[in-house]
Each structure stands twice: as C-alpha cells, then as structure tokens.
Structure 1
C-alpha cells in the first residue's frame, strides 16, 4: 500500500494554519507568500509550485475560489476564502486600502439593525493641492437641484451588491477596525451619510442613525472630524440640524449653530417641496 503524500501529511497543519489565521479572504499573491514562508515547515516536495499549492488547498476543502465580476473600470477579481469568510471581509479585500462606509458602516457601528444588501466600499483619491474652493449660492443651488451623483462600479456576489466609492482624500480619518474589517467609526459614519444620504437609505434613515448614536457619540470627536475633513460645502449646518432633530442639546450644538452661515444650504438633493430652517439656514423636505 502506497504511503501518504506529503500534502496529505501536511493537511492537518494547513487546516490549523488557516483556521487560526485572523484573515479569511486571500488573494493569489497572499497565498504565494504563505507558500514561500511555510513550504519548509510543511515539508512540501521541492517540485511543488505555488499553483500546485493553491490547487491542493482547494482540493482538500481548505479554501474555495470565488470570482467577482465588476461593471465599470475594475477588472475581475479572484479570491480564495475559508468557510468562515463574511461578505464584509470579501468586500474590503477587493480594493487596496479600502474601508466600509455609509450604510455598511451604519450596520457595523450599531446604528441600524437592517442588514445591508449593498456593501459600500470606499477607497480614497490621491491628495490634491490648490484648486478653486470659492463657493457661491448659485453653485450650491444648482448642485442640489440635481440628483445625487451615484457610483457606477458595482459587482454582484450572491445576494449582495458591492459598490465602489471613489472618496476624497482624508488620510483615512476616522477609520477603525471591527472584527478585522476596516470601517468608518461612529462619528465619521454620521458625517458621511449626511454628505451622501442616498448611500444610507435616505434622510429619514440618516436621522434614525443620529438618534441611535446619541447615547454613544462623542460630539467633540464629531466636530473635530468634520473640521478635519474640511469640506467646501457648509455641512456643519446639516449636521447641526440632524443633531437637533435627533434630540441632542448641548454646548457643541450651540457651537455649530454659532458658526458662520454664509450660504443657504440643503439637507439633500433634488427636493421637490421644501421647508426652511432659519436656525440652520437649511432647506429640508417639507413635512420632515
């Protein structure tokens, strides 16, 4: 009777390695690195190639290969996953230095109980210098009379949709990790969904997120993050409006209210019927 192959002998060690690894999603390049680092420890044959190694991982049920097909400018991605891999982990593995944001971040930060079927993946543009940062009321009116611009690069994976957002450069401000998944923190999430409410289920969903955040939010951190992001638009007016509507009152709210309000601003895009908040110099949907 022939003896066991070296792969068969190493199988338990391989299974243990991937079971204990905090990562559940791997690229081809990452598996190649593991192969080079572990081949001697696993006593694999000298003739074994990285391709043969990956084939054996699949054959023995340690990893499963998946393919993600995108609409848009991103090429097809292939990943190798364990049985414990979650869609959120797969999502952030697709783009280097990306993180989850908007509705996905609302869920991970406990701001909604609704499991998002669209997973928002943000990666940041390169830092830009200079540029025209002058703002006029006419430009604001024109921008918010139109629908919010939406990302077009998307992939379907099972019951989920992965949407790629090309975000402005922030130096990854307000990014933390939840279960090894990079995601915007509570305060950054509230700001992001204020800026792009359609990526959060709309303004009523945004307001609910603010209400759910009141017991755990740091207003100092929220305002500091808002200042750090340095938007050209006066989003402090929208953030203050949401905070007040959510039931917050305090010095930080008064600080936001006392800031310069040089322009009339908008809570969201393409509003047909509007009311106006004098306190916040802000248009919002009638009846809200």
Structure 2
C-alpha cells in the first residue's frame, strides 16, 4: 500500500522541529511554516494546516493546548515541554511580564516556584480629562474592592493572567535575552516593577510581599529613576506617599533618596491597599497601612 507523502516526510519534519528554538506555536505560525516547507517536504496543496497539525499531534511530540480564557478562547501548539516565559510571550506578543512575575524575574521575592504569571498588554492611549481628586473620592475608592482581571486561565498548576494596563508607551519595559527562549523576554525593569506593585499590590502578592521586594531591591534600584518614572506616569492618586513609606519603613535606604519622595506634595491622606480592616497611620507620609506590617 502506497504511503502518504506526509508519512514519508515525517522524519524530516521531526528533525526540522527539533532544530528550532521555538517551542510554542499559533495555528497561523504553523500555517506559515507549512507554506515555507511545503516544497521541501513535497506536500501537495491538499495538505491543509488543519490536516498537518492533526497528523503532527497524532504522530509526533507536537501537542495541542487549549487555553480557555473567559474573553477569548486560545489554542497553542507545543513542541515538547515549552519554557513558561515563551508561552507567556506568545499570548500577547506586544505584552510584557509585570507585577509579581517581574518581581520574581528580578529575584526580589523568594525563589519558590511561581504560581501566577501576569502579562500586561497596554491599552491604546486615551484622551479626555481626568476627574478632580478629593479626599472623599480617595476614601470611597479605597473602601471598595480593588478591580482585578478575570481574564485568567489555569495551565499545569499555574495561573496565566492577562492584564490591560494603562498606556505608558512601554515605559521602563526592558528586553531580556534568555538562552532557552526563541524571542526576547519583555519585562518591566526593577524600578517600574516596584512602582506597579505599589499601584496594584493584589497582583504582587500583597503589601507584605511588596515590602519584602523593596527590602531585596536595596543596592539594585535607582531611586532617582523611580522618581523620574513616577512623574512620567502622571498618576492621579498620590502613590509617591506609598512608595516613600515602603522605602522608609523597610530600612536600608539612605534618607537622602527617601527625601526625594518627601518633596512631592502631600495634600491628602492615602492608603497602602484597598479594603484594609485594621490600620495604623503615619503622619510623615499621610498614609494608612495594615496594622500587621
């Protein structure tokens, strides 16, 4: 019985995939790959990408991985066991690791196995006027639950969470080149990671974890760059009070650099986190913080 051409080409196809650094594919990428290799593998036009992937899933180490995100179901194809960061980058090619994922990458949190990966894909720039800040509005906002992304999915005991952060024009996002990745890893710098974690501690493991990250960052972070970055981000809320508190409270930072945050105006009382039950108050930073810290 005559063998199908794809059966004949199977060893060459396997050799090809084994030689590639890339381990995570979309269907479109496999379609492009098939188009480029079709002639070499002598596969006719009747061999569609769907037939091609079905054969590979059945006959090789290619596997199909459904990722049922609530807002858009996604499928990825793995050649073997892919690096977690490659999977993360494939979900949002213009996105970047942020919050706890970035703290973990920079070794600012305990090096235990990561359980949640945050990929931030910035929104388009928005115009319009911002609301006027008042003490009453701050109090009301921080008494409510913090808004969090529901666009998450479980994969191999890990939660993959997609965020849609405000447009910053990729401020403080750096490219890292890792030996096991087929593309650069985009991740927030130490300075940007520490700022983001103050803005959304829920994505950074909570305020105790954020405090610990500030402790571990001593000697590895440029406070001057943080100040510059914070001014560029133009937040409505006075997050400089929370950042100054962390720098002051954790110890290890020179009073001169802490003083850079004291130069910001402090017109309002502020909060370290949302919906805190028992709190203490610091007059220095006009800030409420959890009593357990």
Shared fold (TM-score, shorter chain, > 0.5) = yes
State the alpha-carbon separation in 2 of the partners of residues 173 and 61 from structure 1: 42
Find the counterpart in structure 1 of residue 77 from structure 2. 80
Question: Residues of 1 paired with 2:11 and 2:143: CA distance?
Answer: 61
In the TM superposition, 1:110-189 aligns within 5 A as 110-112=107-109, 113-178=111-176, 179=178, 180-189=184-193
SS at match of 1:39: helix
Contact 1:107-1:115 at 8 Å conserved across structures: no
- Distance in 1 (CA, whole Å) between partners of 2:227 and 2:11 is 51
1:90 aligns with 2:95: no
Give the secondary structure class of the aligned counterpart of 2:118. Answer: strand
Match of 1:53 in 2: 52
Structure 2 residue runs without a partner (length 5+): 179-183
2:291 equivalent in structure 1: 286
CA distance in 1, matches of 2:191, 2:218: 11
1:10 deviates by 4.0
Deviations 1:14-63 (A, max 9, x none): 33443343432111011111111222233434542222322233233242
The alpha-carbon deviation at position 252 of structure 1 amounts to 3.0
Give the deviation of 1:162 after TM superposition: 1.9
Q: Judge conservation of contact 1:18–1:62 (CA < 8 Å) in 2.
A: no
Match of 2:104 among 102, 107, 115: 107
What's the TM-score, normalizing by structure 2?
0.88
Counterpart in the other structure of 2:245:
241
Distance 1:36 1:67 in 2: 24
* Residue-by-residue CA offset, 1:209-263 (whole Å, 9 max, x unaligned): 1111113112232222222221111111111111222321153321111111121
Give the Cα–Cα distance (whole angstroms) in 1 for the partners of residues 41 and 218 of structure 2: 52
Number of aligned residue pairs: give it.
285
Distance across 1 between alignment mates of 2:258 and 2:226: 11
Matched, 1:229 2:227: no
The aligned residue for residue 275 of structure 2 is 270
Give the secondary-structure state (helix, strand or coil) at the position aligned to 1:110.
coil
Distance (whole Å) between structure 1 residues aligned to residue 236 and residue 147 of structure 2: 17
SS at match of 1:81: strand
* 8 Å contact kept, 2:142–2:273: yes
Q: Is the 8 A contact 2:270 2:286 kept in 1?
A: yes
In 1: Cα distance, 2:168 partner to 2:269 partner: 26
**What RMSD over aligned residues (CA atoms) do the two structures have, in Å?**
2.2
Equivalent residues of 2:280, 2:289 under 8 A apart: yes
3-state SS, counterpart of residue 164 of structure 2: strand
Q: Deviations over 1:54-75 (max 9, x none)?
A: 223323324211101123xx22
Structure 1 outlier segments of 4+, above 4 Å: none
CA–CA separation in structure 1 for the residues paired with 2:102 and 2:280 = 29
Unaligned segments of structure 1, at least 5 residues: none
Pair 1:269–1:35, CA change in 2 (3 A): same
Please tell me whether the aligned partners of residues 92 and 181 of structure 1 are also in contact (alpha carbons under 8 angstroms).
yes
Aligned to 1:24: 23
Change in 2 beyond 3 A, CA 1:70/1:172: same
